[in-house]
Every structure is written in C-alpha cells, then in structure tokens.
A and B are shown apart, each in its own frame.
Chain A
Amino acid sequence: MIAADNAAANARPAGPSARPVVAVRGVAKLFSNGTLALQNVDLDIGRHQFMSLLGPSGCGKSTLLRMIAGLGSASAGTIDWPEADHDAHGAALPRLSFVFQEPTLMPWASAIKNVMLPLKLAGVPKEERRARAAEALAMVGLGAFENAYPRELSGGMKMRVSIARGMVTKPDVLLMDEPFAALDEITRFKLNNDLLELWHASNFTVVFVTHSVFESVYLSQRIVVMAARPGRIIADLDTAAPYPRAPDYRTSPLYNDHCRRASQALEVAMGHALGAH
C-alpha cells in the first residue's frame, strides 16, 4: 500500500539526474550584531519540488529564505541558479516570488491593483496586466473581490491576494515564509489545499517555511529540518505521498509515519538548540 503511494508520488518530482533549480553551497550568515544565523548550509532544491523548511523559531529559516530570494547577501558560500537566465555580469535572474507571513498588501490599492504590482514594475502594458491579475485572483477564488480594498477583506482573503500576487508573474519558484501561521486552523486547511491545487496545476517549485510538523508533512514531498545557534540543516526527510491529497490522508498510517519522523528530527533540533545554552 505504502509502496504504491510512493510510486504515485514519484510521478511528479524530477529524477535525481536533473539539475536543481537552486543550489545552496556552504552558506553562512553572520549579522553585524554578531549573531551567527546560519552556518555551512548545503541545499539542492529540485525542479517542481514542494519542499518545506521546518525548524524552531529563531533557527534561521527566514534568513535562509530571504537569502535565496536575494534579499541580503551570504557572509560565506554561494547560492546558484543553474537553470535560470543570467545578466551580463553573470548574476542570476531567477523568476521567483515571495509570500510573507503577513499579507503585505498596499492598503491604498484594491485587490486587483495589488496583484498587478509585480507586472507594473516589470513594465507589462496596462491591458495585459489587468487581464493577468484578474486571472490570478480568480485562481485563488477571489474573482468577485477585484475592487475590494485590503481592509475590507478577512485575514484568509488577504493571504489569497498575497498568493495571487506571487502567482501572477508565473514564477519558477515560490518562496513562502510561514504564510498561514497567523490564520485559524479551518482557514489554514483550506488554504493548504488550495495551494496544493495551484501547485499541481502550474508546475512551479515551492519552498515553504513553517514551524508546524503537520502542515509541512501534509503539504510537502520533502522536509528539511533546521536547528538553531548556529542555524544549520540537521535532517532531510523524504515525505512523498500521492497528490492530490486524499480526504483521509491526515489520518493515514503514511501521514502518521511522516509526522513521527519529522517530530523526532524537530526534537533533535530543539535539543541542539537547548544544549547550546
């Protein structure tokens, strides 16, 4: 039974020979205040993979994700994009989007204007960006709320707008930093499923930061567990299971097994963190 599930799951991820979308090599980050947020991080992320970064608060998940996004430079090591275009100076131009923990919308702009922003900044003509933004909003189920202002939307709806803004550029990689952490469980489950549906339909890579074992297992094919002080990777778990998730996946033995392994790794991570003090 489990073997069959794995076989179905393996239909999606790229084969081992394929080049990674992003290759992190020996990355360290030392903040100016002396905090060693990351040390010696190596990570290959495969094309079309749904990967979670799991770890206790303060272990450097956000720092790593932001560096992958090119926000802030590494103190040591390299982050390469073998598959991406490069500019004249050899700098990678990966097509990526970032979804923050807060919706991070412009309060003075309607939902559709918020979604149009990345296209506007890229110089896409007005007609086209409106059409594409409308499409992205419809995709996250907010087709009827194009002209609503962020304050008129609930927390979950604002997050959907934020995801639509991330999707509108059709990115190769979607980086998400605890996007659903501030939402109630019912909304979170709903958004989890919708995110998987979008990912399944559109073929991009997701790097999903979370501190929830259950969320990471439910969503991802692979969980990279980090420990703190200094931030580093301590486990890399294969949590393959068939997509779309079956309605009873959350109660299946496979899911439980994945959760157990992820929890154990997380406990080790927290032990390390505590041991350092």
Chain B
Amino acid sequence: MAEAARPAITIGDDAPPVILQHKRVLGVSVATWPKILMPLAVGILALAGWELAVRLQGIPVYILPGPILIAKTMVADWGTLSGSLWITLSISLAALSAAVVLGVSLSVLFAQSKWVELSFFPYAVILQVTPIVAIAPLIIIWVNDVKLSLLICAWIVAFFPILSNTTLGLNSADHNLLNLFQLYKATRFQTLMNLRLPSALPYFLGGLKISGGLALIGAVVAEFVAGTGGSQSGLAYRILESGYQLRIPRMFAALFMISISGIVIFMCLSLLSHLALRRWHESALKREN
C-alpha cells in the first residue's frame, strides 16, 4: 500500500488484524499436513490388516479377495472398468448439473413469492421422500433411452438438497440489508443479484456437497434396478455381472471405483466451496484463538 493512501484521520480504535503467514511444505501449510496424513495412515493400516487377514486365514477369493488382488484386477480389467466408470461418472455429473440448474432456478422462483413456495414445495418433498428404487422401474419403462432414465433417477435424488438449501439461503438475507436495498429503491432483480444470491451461496454450496454424493448413489441404484447390460453399462452393472459370473475381485474393484469416485466428487465440491467462501464466510475461516 502506498504511503499516500494512508488514512487522513488516524484510527484510534485499532490497526487491521495481522495475518500470520503459515509455513508451507509442497504448497500445503504445515498445519494442514496432519489432516491429510492421518486419514491416509488409517487407510493404509486397514488395507494392510485386510490383506494380512485374508492371507493368514486362507479366505477363498470368491468370499473376500485381498486388496492386492483387487488392485491387480482393477489394472487387468481397466479397459472395461474405465469405460463403465466414465459412464457412471458422466451420468452423475450430468444429473448434478441438472439438479443445480433446476434447483437454483426453482428456488429463485420460490423466493419471488411465498405463495409459489407454499404451493410447490410439498411436491418437491414428495419427490424427495419417495424411495428411488420404487420409482426407478417406472421411469425406466416410461423413458425409452436407458441412459436418460438413469440420469432422471440420479437427478431426482440430487435435486432436493440444492432446492431446499438454496431456498433457505435466499430467504436468509440480512433484514437490515433488505431494508437498505428498499431504501435505495433497488429493483427485485437488483436485490436478487446483489443480496439474495450472495447470501444464499454458502447454503447452496452446502447443498451441492450433499447432492454430489447423492447423484452418484442415484446413478448406481438406478442402474441396479435397470439391470441392463451391453457396451454402454456403468459400474453398477459391472458389479451385477461380476456377481453372476462369480468374479468377486472384479466386483470389489468396481465397488472401490464407485467409492473413490464419491470421495473425489466430495473433495472437489469441498474445494470449490472453500475457494468461493474463504474470504468472507464463517465456515471457511479459522478461529483465531
């Protein structure tokens, strides 16, 4: 900051807070490393224990394969599995995107009028509480395209947290700020863009993190229900298929890939949330004591 920009009137109350620079290793602050290393250590220990148990007890492969065998299978079958992974992921991400677009648009609509919200919200709840396994067969019958029907199922599951959280967020704008906007004769649109949407951002991101995992679950569950094979099948069908063929290591490999996808989706969305909120929101700030 230039000297010329010093305050004209000296500030008696206090100076700006001092921001301490944390020491960094490989671009990650020293304080963060344990958060990465601890869960990693637990995971490695668990896998080692599993491998050891399988070997010492002589558990047959068709009951429980060890992690090393699962990893080998994953590499050997990578051709088929990666194709399926891509299909499951693309359905999940498309469903999540649709959930974001429709969830946010609908909650903006709800925010325009309490009556619209009161009239339509219960139906969103119905959509949410109806088990997806129960309606998936119907959707699969109604929609000819399998991929599209899976996408719709995943969307139904992922949609509600975004709608409900964003609606809550849009209604949580500070009342005095709303007064201020009224005082300055802001239009509805100006209030939405400059006040309601930014206020809703943390809520929306919270919903998004939940919906990311749900979209994946929705896509997998719906594919189980559909149970259709072919070159266009996702990981759920690979699990079913491996079960029929008693190729248990491959079943586990597919299962692992679903779990890892879920974790990666969650981590990406958490990172997105952190980047969007880190400068201002309580959830992203460190407590300084």
Contact = CB atoms under 8 A, between A and B. Distances in A.
6 contacts: A66-B179, A70-B183, A71-B182, A100-B176, A138-B7, A152-B16
B37 interface: no
A186 B280 CA distance: 28
B20 interface: no
Nearest to B181: A121
A184 B17 CA distance: 18
A77 B35 CA distance: 64
A98 B183 contact: yes
Interface residues of B, number: 33
Interface stretch (A153-161, A204-212, A221-229, A245-253): A153-161
B7 A120 contact: no
Contact of B1 (A122, A144, A149, A186): A144
A104 B176 contact: yes
Given A104-B176, A107-B281, A187 B181 contact: no
Interface in B134-181: 174, 176-177, 179-181
B11 A141 contact: yes
Contacts of A55: none
Given A71-B182, A121-B184, 4 more contacts: A102-B176, A121-B186, A151-B280, A152-B17
A142 B183 contact: no
Nearest to B6: A144
B5 A144 contact: yes
A89 interface: no
B34 interface: no
Interface of A: 66, 69-71, 96-98, 100, 102, 104, 106-109, 117-118, 120-122, 138-145, 148-157, 183-184, 186-187, 190, 194
A174 to B, nearest CB: 12
A69 B17 CA distance: 35
Contact of B7 (A98, A106, A108, A143): A143
Contacts of B231: none
Interface in B1-23: 1, 5-14, 16-17
Contacts of A183: 13
A184 B12 CA distance: 11
A63 to B, nearest CB: 13
A53 B203 CA distance: 39
Contacts of B201: 108
B185 interface: yes
A143 B16 CA distance: 13
A156 B14 CA distance: 8
Nearest to A69: B183
A218 to B, nearest CB: 16
Interface in B65-96: none
Interface of B: 1, 5-14, 16-17, 174, 176-177, 179-186, 190, 194-195, 198, 201, 279-281, 285
Nearest to B11: A141
B275 to A, nearest CB: 13
Contacts of B279: 108, 149
A142 B13 contact: no
A154 B13 contact: yes
Contacts of B5: 143-144
A4 B26 CA distance: 72
A153 B181 CA distance: 23
A139 B7 CA distance: 8
Nearest to A142: B7
A157 B8 contact: no
B180 A98 contact: yes
Nearest to B285: A151
Contacts of A122: 184
A198 B281 CA distance: 32
A1 to B, nearest CB: 30
Given A121-B190, A149-B279, A154 B14 contact: yes
B179 to A, nearest CB: 5
B103 to A, nearest CB: 21
Given A104-B180, A121-B184, A144-B7, A157 B13 contact: yes
Contacts of A152: 16-17
Contacts of B182: 70-71
Contacts of A66: 179
A96 to B, nearest CB: 7
A141 B198 contact: no
A152 B16 CA distance: 7
A142 B280 CA distance: 19
Given A104-B177, A149-B280, A151-B285, A186 B13 contact: yes
